[in-house]
Every structure is written in structure tokens, then in C-alpha cells.
Amino acid sequence: MRKFARQQGGPGGWIRLGAVAIMTLGLAACQTVPGTRAGASGGMESQATASGSLDAAGTRKTGPVQTVTADRQAADLRVFLADTKAHPGWTPVPLKPSGLLYVRTDAIIDRGDLMGIQSATDQDGGGVLVLILKDEGLEKLRAMTQAHPGLRLALVVGQIMLAAPAYASPVTQQQLAFGVGSVRNAELAARSVAGVQ
């Protein structure tokens, strides 16, 4: 797996991301992000397909809503802006079979912007991870997606980039849904972010 490094959070804070693959419905990712706690997302399936929608409507909740609190054992969660076009200062990520995804280096929201997290399924039975945002997190996401229309939101849980779906309009919903391939991926991600063993 090819890797690259980008600076995160100031001098000396480096993150490594691996290759990203394009799937039929969106981006699939198997991106290892060393620099966060190893094994935070251990056991997740190697690929997760992003849905084309970030709207939680139409998802069927399968797992309980997990409360997100301060917990050292929980996996980090971050959402970054991303695009298939180059932007100054954004980090290129090689795509499979060809192309690049450019990722902005500062996260829009992180685990601290969540009230809760839940696993769900889409209409086809695929796994969906639903982020339940605090008002402050929603406002940051709304402002950023309004200022940068028609890009992608790259979801990173622990050391794995799970999805990078496109958005057509500013995000205005308190619940943000990411297609993550399988129900198992959604369940493992929800539990690891909530710090549930």
C-alpha cells in the first residue's frame, strides 16, 4: 500500500494515509492513519463504500445511539474537506485504479463535536454510520460546506478513512450519515468512537 505524509495540528504532528480506491457508488478506502492510537479500529473490514448522500433520512437504525463523551479508550473521529481537483496546500492521496483525492489538512469537525453516534443500514442493506452533531459542530460543518460547495467530506475513524462522499448543498441536518460498506463496519466504528468495548 502506497503511503504519504501530511502535517496535522502543528509542527511534528504527522499523519500517514494509504491508498484510496474508487468504487461504483463512491469512494472506498483502506487508509491507515498512524499517529493515532493503534488498533482503535482493529477488526474493521478492509474496504468501506461511501454512499452518495449525507442525509440520514432513508436509513434504518440498527444499533443503539452511543453517547460520545470524553474517553481515552475511544477512537478519534475527524471529518475533512476533500476534492478530486487540486487545491493549494491540500494533500494529494493516490486513488486506485488512477487519479488523486486532495484532502484539506485541518479537520472541520472531530469527536468533540458529536453528541452521539449510531450504526444503521441503507435501503440496500449496506452499513451506514450516523453522526449526531452538537449545535456547534453542525454550525462549523454548515459554514464550511456553504463556503466550499460541491466537494467531498472525508470521514476518518481511528486510523481508517471510511468514506468520502460528495455533497451538493450545505449540510444543515443534525444527523450526518456516511455509507461505510458493511453493517459490521458501521457497528465497529460506532462502538470504537463511543469507547464501547
In SS3 terms, 136-174 reads as HHHHHHHHHHHHCCCCEEEEEECCEEEECCECCCCCCCC
Q: Residue 124: inside a domain, yes or no? A: yes
Domain count, the chain: 1
Q: Residue 4: inside a domain, yes or no? A: no
Give the structural domain span for 77: 15-194
Q: Residue 8: inside a domain, yes or no? A: no
pTM over 0.85: no
* Integer Cα distance of 184 and 42 in angstroms: 12
Q: Residue 5: inside a domain, yes or no? A: no
- Of 33-37, 59-63, 117-121, 132-136, the range with the lowest mean pLDDT is 33-37
The CATH number of whichever domain residue 109 belongs to comes to 3.30.1360.200
* Tens digits of residue pLDDT in 51-98: 344 656 666 766 767 777 776 788 899 999 999 999 999 998 777 777
* Tens digits of residue pLDDT in 7-52: 333 332 223 232 222 222 233 333 333 232 222 333 333 333 333 4
Q: Residue 23: inside a domain, yes or no? A: yes
Query: What is the arithmetic mean of pLDDT over 136-148?
Result: 97
